[in-house]
Amino acid sequence: MKRVFLLIGGVLLIAAIIVWWAVTSQTSWGDAEKATLRGLWIGSLPALPADPSNAYAANPQAAALGHKLFFDPRFSSNGEVACSTCHQPELMFTDGLPLAEGVGTTTRKTMTIIGTAYSPWQFWDGRKDSQWAQALGPLESAVEHGGTRTQYAHLIDEFYRAEYEAIFGALPDLSDRARFPETAGPVEDPSARAAWEAMTGEDRDTVTRVYVNLGKAIAAYERLIVPAPSRFDQYVEALLNNDGKAMRAALTADEVAGLRLFIDRAQCINCHNGALFTNNDFHNTGVPTAPGLEPDNGRASGVTQVLGDEFNCLGPWSDAQKEDCSELRFVTSEGGQLQGAFKPPTLRNVAATAPYMHAGQYATLEEVLMHYNHPPIAPIGHTELEPLGLPARERLQIVAFLRSLSGGVSAPPEFLQAPQ
Ligand code: HEC
Ligand code: HEC
């Protein structure tokens, strides 16, 4: 009899220890871990950084104009493609496709624009160094908007003259179609390019000035689109307030276990850190080439492009002083580590932005975790990843944690839909 009681007592004790462990592991963190979590918390996101290269970055009228331009499909070769075609607010400013589709099909997956004001480099390969310079890329890309600089300047003249002039001053007289052709620009299309080259240097600069201002207005709009707090942020806030009950309400035990793996054994934190879960640097993680595409050398080309870009921080169209351009001046421009390296995207709202990776190679977050568990041989350069060997249960816990990062967007509400 006595033995039976001892046995039951032992079992109860073990059960109590398990319960105690489960409850405390959901809420207890060491000091170093707490500091890490605070760094990931949205409350650690600094105020919007200034963009000295764009004198209109913080101009509300420019943001209002940029909002209209972002949603206006007239700014394309076929009248059907706007920035919002690919950057759809309902999909956290992505499009749900592996490869983006504008007037043609691109070779990359659409990235979100949420929080990109914080990033010194734009695009998967960082071939642009500001939001305004970025915006000028797709507008002239043959597969995205497919239009030209003179076309866009004429559209501003026709539909946005008053708004433009209130911000940037008088719009030049572009009415002479012999000097300012309907479509001309430094683009792929040979006839538009020939028309551009036939213009005088001064007239080209006149048009480029309007084009640049269009980009600066769009950037003023995009700056205001930042992430909103998620359940993960509620959890960290509760942790910082020592409020165990609120912590348990914010994240489940599995999500917390996933968070623990994320910052510890799985080493995700090495590249996905800071309040946007990206270090804004470039890494080769050996993501396979998507079917039908050429191997993509990522940052190795991106850095050459940004250094040669007429719209970069040091260029003639930038409003910055040389001292403001330290990111560009001191950029790493050589080295094998740039081969096949890409920018780690923000993981905020990642549950809503499938498929994943630079060419949408993975359909689900579970597939992404399989990649990190058994990193393949890199198609170009060398992967920085080591196999993780996580069992299925732990991979699912990390996925559960990633799903807790969905907090949506913080922006003036009218900016999240097409202008009325
Ligand atoms: C055809 C679809 C499409 C259109 C139209 C489009 N984009 Fe994109 N956007 C993409 C793709 C694809 C990428 C990634 C391309 C790459 O890295 O080469 C991207 C990247 C970006 C990024 C970089 C985000 C980051 O984290 O680096 C920003 C910002 C952006 N687009 C804004 C815009 C703006 C502003 C416009 C309109 C002027 C626009 N896009 C038009 C598909 C599109
Ligand atoms: C060595 C740096 C590095 C580490 C470590 C790392 N990542 Fe990444 N992550 C990246 C890069 C770079 C990309 C984009 C790669 C590409 O598209 O080719 C990426 C992409 C992703 C994406 C896809 C996001 C999107 O919008 O397409 C997810 C999800 C992700 N990582 C989660 C994780 C998780 C979870 C871990 C830990 C298991 C982790 N990462 C570890 C660098 C890293």
Torsion of CA 216, 408, 100, 269, to 10 degrees: 100
Supply the residue whose CA is at minimum distance from atom 35 of ligand 1. Answer: 135
CA dist., res. 179 & res. 346, Å (int) = 44
Nearest to 113 by CA among 144, 137, 80, 91: 91
CB 239 within 8 A of CB 27: yes
Q: Name all residues whose Cβ lies below 6 A of ligand 2.
A: 266-268, 270-272, 283, 285, 287, 342, 344-345, 347, 350, 353, 356-358, 365, 368, 372, 384-385, 398
Neighbours of 50 (CB within 10 A): 12
Among 225, 229, 270, which residue's Cα sits nearest to residue 119? 225
Burial class of residue 45 (count of CB atoms within 10 Å of its CB; 0-12, 13-18, 19+)? middle
Which residue's alpha carbon is at the smallest distance from atom 11 of ligand 2?
344
Q: Give the CA radius of gyration of the chain.
A: 25
Look up residue 211 and give its amino acid: Y
Buried b (16+ CB within 10 A) or exposed e, 325-364: beebeeeeeeeebbbbbbbbbbbbbbbbbbbbbbbbbbee
- Please give the single-letter amino acid code of residue 322: K
CA 5 to the chain's CA centroid:
61
Q: What is the pLDDT of residue 19?
A: 62
Dihedrals φ, ψ of 98, to 5°? -65, -45
Distance (Å, rounded) from C-alpha 135 to C-alpha 70? 9
- Residue 254, C-beta contacts closer than 8 angstroms, at least 6 positions apart: 396, 397, 400
Query: What is d(CA 88, CA 106) in angstroms, rounded to the nearest whole number?
Result: 17
Straight-line distance from the first to the last Cα atom of the chain, in angstroms, rounded to the nearest whole number: 80
Side chain identity, residue 393: R
By most ligand atoms within 8 Å of CB, the mutation choice from 116, 272, 299 for ligand 2 is: 272
Q: Which ligand is nearest to the CA of 127?
A: 1
Tokens of 83: 């920035």
> Cα–Cα distance between 345 and 159 in angstroms, integer?
35
> pLDDT truncated to tens, each residue of the chain (420 aa)?
677 777 777 777 777 666 667 667 888 999 999 999 999 999 999 999 999 999 999 999 999 999 999 999 999 999 999 999 999 999 999 999 999 999 999 999 999 999 999 999 999 999 999 999 999 999 999 999 999 999 999 999 999 999 999 999 999 999 999 999 999 999 999 999 999 999 999 999 999 999 999 999 999 999 999 999 999 999 999 999 999 999 999 999 999 999 999 999 999 999 999 999 999 999 999 999 999 999 999 999 999 999 999 999 999 999 999 999 999 999 999 999 999 999 999 999 999 999 999 999 999 999 999 999 999 999 999 999 999 999 999 999 999 999 999 999 999 999 999 998
Which candidate, 68, 108, 97, places its Cα nearest to that of 84? 68
Closest CA to 44 of 240, 248, 259: 240
Interval between CA 288 and ligand 1 midpoint (Å): 22
Of the candidates 398, 338, 340, which has an alpha carbon nearest to the alpha carbon of residue 367?
398
Atom of ligand 2 nearest to the CA of 262: 37
**CA 16 / ligand 1 centre spacing (Å):** 53
Smallest Cα–Cα separation from 135: which of 199, 195, 236, 218? 218
The pick from 103, 111, 213, 342 for probing ligand 1's pocket by mutation, whose C-beta has the most ligand atoms within 8 angstroms, reads 111
| Total length of the chain | 420
Residue 418 CA: distances (Å) to CA of 220, 230, 404: 16, 25, 28
Ligand found nearest the CA of 220: 1
Do residues 87 and 110 lie in contact, with contact meaning Cβ atoms separated by under 8 Å? yes
